[in-house]
Every structure is written in C-alpha cells, then in structure tokens.
Amino acid sequence: MTHGKTPPTAELKIGDQVYNLPLVEGTRGDKAIDISRLLQKTGYITLDPGFKNTGSCTSAITFLDGKEGILSYRGYDIEDLANNCSFVEVAFLLLHDKLPNEQELESFKGLIERFALIHEDMIHFFDHFPSHTSPMSILSVMVNSLCNYYPEMSGDPLVDFDITSTRLISKIRTIAAFSYKKSMGHPLVYPRSDLSYCGNFLNMMFDKPVRRYIVRPEVVAALNKLLILHADHEQNCSTSTVRLVGSAGVNLYAAIAAGINALWGPLHGGANEAVIDMLETIYADDSNFKKYIEKAKDKNDPFRLSGFGHRVYKTYDPRGKIIKKACDEILRVLEISDPLLDIADRLEEIARKDEYFIERHLYPNVDFYSGIIYPTLGIPK
C-alpha cells in the first residue's frame, strides 16, 4: 500500500509489470481495492466464487462488521433502531438517508395507507394456486404481477422510485395477509387506515367475522422489531439478486420478485422455516441432540445445523441476540411456553461448546430464533 498526497493505491505485480490499484476506505475504516479497471489494465479478471471478497458497489446504507457483530443502518445502531423506532420510520431512513421529521412521517404514512389495497382483479390470482403452494412462491408471483396493474410512472425517475417503493412496502403486506387468508379458506380482511403498519398486517391476517382480532401492542411491538431487523442487510444473496436483475433495466417489481425467490432458499431467508423443521425433528426424536450435532459435523451427511453460521458474521449475529430477547419477552407476556424454545436454547448451548462450531466461528444467526417467534405471534410456518 502506498499513501501520500495522491490517493492511496495497492501495487499488483504480474511478471515484471507493476500495476497501481486504487484503495477505497469506508466511513468506519473498512478497506477495499478497486479492481473495476483490472481487466482493461492487465488482461486479468479475478476469480472469487461466492463473492466472498467482492463488493459490487459502495453503500451508504448498511454497515456491518462480521468480526465484531456490529450492524447499523445509516449510522444508527440496529439495536437502537429496533428498540426506539417504528418500521415505517426505518423504511423512510433506508430510502431517504435520514429519519423523518413529524411532517415527513405523516406524509409517508399517508402514502402507505393510500397504496394499501391491491387491484381487485389480482385477488382472483389467489384462487388458482394449489392449496399447498408456498407463500414465497405466491408472493413473488403477485409482486411480479404488480407492474401490470401499477406501472412505474414515466416522469422523474426519482419520484417514480419513491412511489413504486412505497407502493411495494404497503402492498406486500396486503398480499402476504391475503395469501394466508386464502390458504385458510377465510374471507379476506381489507386494510384499515386507523391501524399502524404492523397492526394493520396482523389484523388482515387474523381478524374473522366470527371473532374480532384484538391487536395487542406487545405483538405489534415484536413484529415491528422483526421487520426492522430484516429491513436491510447489505449485499446479501437476495439484495445482490435484486441489484443484478435491476441492472438489466427491468421494473422494480420484477427485480424485487427475483429477490423474493432468492430469499426463499433454505440457506438464506428460508432458514427460519428449516430451523423449525429441525427443532421439531429433534423434539420428536427424544431430544437426541448428540445425534444431530454429529450429523451436522459429518461431511458425508448433507445435514447442517439450520440457523447456525453466516457468510459475514463470525460471531453472534447482533439481530439474533435482539430476536432471542424479544422471543423470551413475548412468551412471558403472552404466558405461552414453547418446548421448541427450550430445544433451541439447549442446542445452542451444546453447539457453542463444541470444537467443530468454535473453530469455524459458527454462531446462531438471525433465523435461529426468528423461526420460533413467528408462530408465537400467530404466524404459522
């Protein structure tokens, strides 16, 4: 590395030839080598399977330090946001670079409220999925189809982005709730403007003509936390997919639908479902932890401990810690005891003392406890 008045560079020597590559430094001292002109300068490309060492862009949104277990959105610590903000405020922060003032928040909420319905014709789509269809599949189909009903407007691209992204944030909740209602064979419950973002979602999910749903503030608070913790996570698999598909110039709905499909995978967002399957299996197998720990360590066995390990975090995922606390809290408030939480606690304790997991820095990730908290809120697997 060379430093001085000229921007710092790294030297790359290939044979006798030395090339200077610009160094980039992030706001918190994180460092990168800019290889965007490498091929042009040297005739070489880089080989980096899984992009373990590659950032596809610089970002002013999310900072994460996988060694220290730090995550922040636009400079605000994730725990601070999860404990003190609404999901709508955090969504505004991610989109607009700052937390909203009172007026901005009211106007953003107003737009979310205005966009909450989906075109009535789209409701017929739900009738044509087989009953066992995965909600992720329904979500991606519905989001992909939104462009036919709500084309991005053709004026200022920045205004269009604002409108389309706000539409998505609003409608995705209605789609998810309608998909659940259809799967239950229950009548749909429409969005209400007197409820908060999370309260509205829960009401659309659980209100029934025969039994009114009481929106409990503790449940709203837990869901709010979950949405904040999942609002952004740098250049992960689904975000990279959205960016890649979007780079072809498709509409935002199509790019997001592609991201939903990436998120579906059991190694990514689908891990929380896999965690529940795994905990249920262990529970049904007389809590035979040893057997499953050994299976996870066996290289000839494809079984992995779901909810353990992370591409970036080599310590406890900070989101996992917050969810675990929220999980304990909500179970206490609702006076529910969940045997799966005990299984999860015990499994974590055993794995974290095991050399295999210690050596490889495998800790619980965000999905380890999130799989447990959703059913507690009434949201089934």
Q: Which residues between 309 and 328 bind ligand ACO (CB under 6 A)?
A: 309-311
State the minimum distance, in angstroms, from the CB of residue 53 to ligand ACO.
12
User: Which among 298, 305, 294 is positioned nearest to 348, based on CA atoms?
Assistant: 305
Q: Which region holds residue 192: left if phi is over 0, alpha if psi is between -120 and 50, else beta?
A: beta
What is the DSSP secondary-structure string of 71-124?
Answer: EEETTEEHHHHHHH--HHHHHHHHHHSS---HHHHHHHHHHHHHT----HHHHG
Residue 3 annotated in active site: no
Tell me: does residue 269 bind ligand ACO (CB under 6 A): yes
- Whether 310 sits among the annotated catalytic residues: the reply is yes
By CB atoms closer than 10 A (0-12, 13-18, 19+), residue 318 is buried
Please, are residues 145 and 122 in contact by the beta-carbon 8 Å criterion? yes
3-state DSSP call for residue 17?
strand
Task: Give 18's strand partners.
Answer: 13
Helix 87-96 with 157-184: angle, nearest 10 deg: 150
Q: Which residue in the list 310, 328, 342, 361 is annotated as catalytic?
A: 310
CB 320, min distance to ligand ACO, A: 9
Of the candidate spans 96-104, 155-163, 171-179, 263-271, the one that interacts with ligand ACO by CB under 6 A turns out to be 263-271
Of 218 and 280, the one with the shorter C-beta distance to ligand ACO is 280
Pattern 338-377, ligand ACO, x by CB under 6 A: ----------------------x-x--xxx----------
Single-letter code of the amino acid located at 134: S
Under the criterion CB under 6 A, does residue 308 sit at the interface with ligand ACO?
yes
- Smallest gap from residue 285 Cβ to ligand ACO (A): 18
Binding of ligand ACO by 254 (CB under 6 A): no
Residue 268 in the binding site for ligand ACO (CB under 6 A)? yes
Residue 267 is a binding residue for ligand ACO (CB under 6 A): yes
Pick between residue 112 and residue 343 the one whose CB is nearest to ligand ACO: 343
Write phi, then psi, for 136 (nearest 5 degrees). Answer: -70, -35
Mark the segment that binds ligand ACO (CB under 6 A) among 11-19, 241-249, 303-311, 332-340: 303-311
Kindly state the tokens that stand for 377: 């809120």
Residues that bind ligand ACO (CB under 6 A): 267-269, 271, 296, 304-311, 360, 362, 365-367
